Amino acid sequence: MSDTIALLSGAMVAGHAIIGLFFLRFWTRSRDDLFLAFAAAFWLLAINQLMVAIHGATAEARAPFYLLRLAAFALIIFAIVRKNMGRG
């Protein structure tokens, strides 16, 4: 892995983790479960990017790591649907 790709991967991991912390702060203020789900989803995205950067495998070998990304997006969708169903 080149130095540029490693730097950008590290920046993405840090960015996802920081966004997760912002959503955690919003959750502590409002106690809205949607913010907690977003925080967890962004931490899953950070872990996914970290695993891909550490292993630096080919595209075919990285497929299992993207299950974390799928879980993150499923968590976001579930939280949004749950929030909207509660308003009825």
pLDDT at 88: 46
Going residue by residue through the chain, which has 88 residues, state the pLDDT in tens, using 9 for 90 and above.
Answer: 688 888 999 999 999 999 999 999 999 999 999 999 999 999 999 999 998 888 876 666 777 888 999 999 999 999 999 999 976 4
pTM: 0.88
pLDDT at 58: 66
String of b and e for 42-81 (b: at least 16 CB within 10 Å)? bbbbbbbbbbbbeeeeeeeeeeebeebbebbeebbeebee
Per-domain residue ranges of the chain:
3-85
